[in-house]
Every structure is written in structure tokens, then in C-alpha cells.
Amino acid sequence: MFYLKRLARLCAKTFILFAVSMSAMAEISIAVLDFELKDLTLAPRIPAEIERTASIKPLLEKELTRLGYQIVRIDAEAQKQADAGVGYLFDHSDAAAKLAAQFNADYILVGRLHKPSFLFAYMMGHLIRADDGKLIGDLIAEAKGPNKKLTVKTVESLAVMIDSALNKLH
């Protein structure tokens, strides 16, 4: 009987800690920008690759929501105005952080689909803290082939990397 009461208290404490950690996670907000395509192949920017690149943001937002994060929407026009050129926000954490702060996001993910070959591509993400512009994570997930199922799996891997980077901070 003593052990059952002790086990019940331990379970209750564990549940409370879990609930507190989940509520703290729900308060973390992330803005995900449209991914850029950097296609270095001999046939760059084919429609299928442009479509795949466009699919990354909504897939990633869905996965981050599933993990308990609040998604902050930044419209394409605001992203375009903050972006001084291709790759600018990816290379300038301070500018990306200002954009995130403008929309009250805690973090912002600036992404790129880097395609050096027809055989594979890299989903790259810079996770940046909005309040100080610090690069929290330089994340890379490899996608082998253009298959849609592989793209989904690669996005899931990227979301796990984002979650891991944020868990280290909170």
C-alpha cells in the first residue's frame, strides 16, 4: 500500500511537470519564412522543384504545430520588403530577427532548399532568436531524391532538429 501511494504521488508529479513543460512550449512562437531554392543543377528551377520548395513551409508549420509551437504568420510582402536580395535574410540574422520582432515572434526560421545535384538536396534552416538576433541553430537535413514522401520525412527531421535546439534553451 505504501508503494502504491508513493507511485501515485510520483505519477502526479510527473504529470504536473509534463503539463508545465508543454504549456511553456506552447508559449514559444516561431515564424517560418518561405524557403528559397538554390538550384545548382544543369536544369535549374524546374516546376517540380519550385513546387517542392513551396511545399516545405506549410509542411514545417504543420509539424511544428504538432510539436506544440505557436506559428506566427509573416506575409510574403513583409518578407519581400525585409529581404534585400536572394539569400539576404539567410545570411543576415539581424535582419531576420527584426522581421520576427515586428510580428511578435520569439524565433524565426529562415530556410533554403540547396540542390547541388539531381540525386539529393539539403533543407537548410537558420533558427534565429528575435530579441537579440542570435543564430540558435544552423540546421541541415538531407533529402535524397525529389519524391514527395521523402520531402515530408526530411521536413519532419528538420522539425525535430528545431525542437531539439529549442529544448536546449528552455
Q: How far apart are CA 113 and CA 78, in angstroms?
A: 21
Count Cβ atoms below 10 Å from residue 25 Cβ, excluding itself.
16
Q: What integer best gives the mean pLDDT of the chain?
A: 88
- Domain at 28-169: CATH code: 3.40.50.10070
Q: What is the pLDDT of residues 78-107, one digit of tens each?
A: 999 999 888 999 999 999 999 999 999 999
Is 154 in contact with 141 (CB distance < 8 Å)? yes
Q: How many CB atoms lie within 10 A of CB 61?
A: 20
pLDDT over 90 (residue 18): no
* Cβ pair 128, 93 in contact under 8 A: yes
User: Does residue 16 register a pLDDT over 60?
Assistant: no
Whether the per-residue pLDDT at 13 is higher than 50: the answer is no
Residue 74 CB: number of other CB atoms within 10 A? 19
Chain segment 96-145, per-residue pLDDT in tens: 999 999 999 999 999 999 999 989 999 999 999 999 999 999 999 999 87
b or e along 121-143 (b: 16 or more beta carbons within 10 Å of the residue's beta carbon)?
bbbbbbbbbbeebeebbebebeb
pTM of the model: 0.83
Specify whether the CB–CB gap between 82 and 98 falls below 8 A. yes
The strand pairing partners of 113, in sequence order, are 37, 123
pLDDT at residue 34 tops 90: yes
